[in-house]
């Protein structure tokens, strides 16, 4: 039987919440105040994840796609559950599209992206066949290594003399309206709201009572990580470059120069991106597999891994024509028509029904 430790859960959520954000920039629309946006988003994100964990405790032992049939019955609950399968599948395809444009622009511009993405997807499929427990174990191994490299990045930036604290001033110089526009809903939903996916995995955790505390604590660690990253980028690049750059982390790392010997460490940023992207894609694919298995009554989920991965690959590689269209579809359409209804609206509406059912069960016993 699959069992996930609390430490592995912490590491898995941490990698998931970093995802593609680590290279694209977090709340970059707020310019030099992006670090403030990150702190505020972390606070709201913690509240949102706490809501998810409350639902987890009220629906003890059930995965996300099992909540709705249990509360609303087959005819109402199952169609709602299928919406989350579609959400996981679409988000997995968007990650493939993120990787496609990154390959074209900064990684391997002369290499056909379909070939690189195919190799990347094959590794993800291999992970799916090995099981969710293996993915969480690898996360537990890699988090200390990635954290050490992140600390090395900070040391090299401080040593290179490219950071200017005055780039942060004036704080909130253009008012709090710009900050709030970037906090809600995009920054809250982009990393923290997506953590709802882990409601598919929480029943597999050894100690589910402590899983709630661990899941909320990860939000603060992830928020601290992104805040420090934003401070590094802003003090290195300045507001203008940060807002215009599609890949501000890479632009920052390319400025590192220590003793004319250690230079252009953009490979370090790309390594972070590949690791976190792989984990985020794999978790979403596992969510798709688990959801489809439950909703379609598939006994052997190994039979659906390859077809789901193949369709997701095709959708991702043909999703958008260019990076601008891809980003705009996420910022302007995805957050209002998909993320907010499914990650906030339905869970909030679900809460009183779950609480009422839990209360009846307690009274019955």
Question: What pLDDT is recorded for position 25?
Answer: 77
pLDDT digits (tens, 9 = 90+) for 84-94: 999 999 999 99
Question: What pLDDT is recorded for position 101?
Answer: 87
Phi then psi dihedrals of residue 172, to 5 deg:
55, 40
Measured CA to CA, the distance from residue 127 to residue 269 in angstroms comes to 23
- Residue 354: HSE in the Cβ half-sphere, 13 Å Cα cutoff: 23
Question: What pLDDT is recorded for position 19?
Answer: 84
Are the C-beta atoms of residues 44 and 188 closer than 8 Å to each other? yes
Question: What pLDDT is recorded for position 212?
Answer: 92
CA-based radius of gyration for the chain = 21
pLDDT digits (tens, 9 = 90+) for 227-264: 999 999 999 999 888 888 888 888 888 887 776 667 76
pLDDT digits (tens, 9 = 90+) for 144-183: 999 998 898 888 888 888 888 899 888 888 888 889 988 8
Measured CA to CA, the distance from residue 324 to residue 8 in angstroms comes to 36
**What average pLDDT does the segment 200-214 reach?**
92
277: Cβ–Cβ under 8 A, 6 or more apart, which residues?
19, 20, 95, 98, 99
CB 15: neighbour CB atoms within 10 A? 27
Measured CA to CA, the distance from residue 285 to residue 128 in angstroms comes to 8
343: Cβ–Cβ under 8 A, 6 or more apart, which residues?
48, 189, 193, 194, 196
Question: What pLDDT is recorded for position 89?
Answer: 96
Confidence of residue 270 (pLDDT cuts 50, 70, 90): confident
Task: Check pLDDT > 90 for residue 277.
Answer: yes
Are the C-beta atoms of residues 250 and 23 closer than 8 Å to each other? yes
Nearest one of 36, 13, 12, 34 to 25, comparing CA atoms: 34
Question: What pLDDT is recorded for position 245?
Answer: 85
- CATH node for 6-351: 1.10.4160.10
Q: Which residue has the tokens 């942060």?
A: 168
- Residue 100: HSE in the Cβ half-sphere, 13 Å Cα cutoff: 23
Nearest one of 50, 91, 19 to 342, comparing CA atoms: 91
Question: What pLDDT is recorded for position 189?
Answer: 86
What residue ranges do the domains of the chain occupy? Answer: 6-351
On average, the pLDDT of the chain sits at 89
Higher pLDDT, 174 or 197: 197
Higher pLDDT, 324 or 13: 13
Q: pTM of the prediction?
A: 0.94
């Amino acid at each position: 039987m699959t069992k996930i430790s609390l430490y592995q859960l912490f590491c898995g959520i941490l990698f998931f919440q970093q995802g593609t954000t680590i290279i694209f920039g977090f709340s970059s629309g707020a310019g030099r105040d992006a670090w403030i946006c990150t702190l505020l988003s972390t606070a709201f994100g913690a509240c949102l994840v706490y809501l998810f964990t409350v639902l987890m405790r009220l629906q003890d032992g059930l995965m996300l796609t099992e909540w709705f049939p249990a509360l609303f019955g087959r005819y109402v609950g199952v169609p709602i559950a299928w919406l989350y399968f579609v959400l996981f599948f679409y988000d997995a395809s968007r990650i493939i599209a993120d990787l496609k444009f990154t390959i074209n622009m900064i990684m391997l511009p002369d290499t056909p992206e379909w070939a690189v993405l195919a190799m990347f997807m094959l590794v993800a499929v291999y992970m799916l066949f090995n099981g969710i427990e293996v993915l969480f174990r690898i996360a537990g191994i890699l988090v200390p290594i990635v954290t050490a490299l992140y600390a090395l990045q900070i040391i090299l930036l401080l040593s290179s003399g490219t950071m200017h604290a005055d780039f942060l001033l004036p704080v909130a110089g253009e008012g709090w309206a710009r900050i709030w526009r970037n906090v809600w809903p995009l920054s809250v939903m982009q990393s923290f709201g997506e953590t709802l996916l882990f409601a598919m995995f929480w029943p597999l955790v050894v100690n589910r009572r402590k899983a709630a505390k661990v899941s909320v604590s990860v939000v603060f660690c992830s928020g601290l990580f992104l805040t420090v990253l934003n401070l590094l980028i802003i003090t290195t690049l300045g507001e203008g470059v940060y807002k215009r750059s599609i890949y501000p982390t890479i632009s920052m790392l390319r400025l590192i120069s220590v003793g004319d010997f250690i230079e252009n460490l953009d490979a370090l940023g790309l390594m972070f991106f590949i690791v976190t992207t792989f984990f985020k894609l794999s978790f979403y694919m596992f969510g798709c597999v688990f959801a489809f298995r439950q909703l379609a009554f598939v006994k052997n989920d190994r039979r659906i891994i390859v077809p789901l991965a193949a369709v997701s690959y095709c959708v991702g590689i043909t999703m958008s024509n260019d990076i601008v269209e891809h980003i705009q579809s996420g910022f302007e359409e995805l957050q209002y028509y998909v993320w907010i209804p499914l990650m906030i609206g339905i869970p909030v509406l679900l809460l009183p029904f779950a609480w009422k059912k839990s209360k009846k069960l307690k009274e019955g016993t």
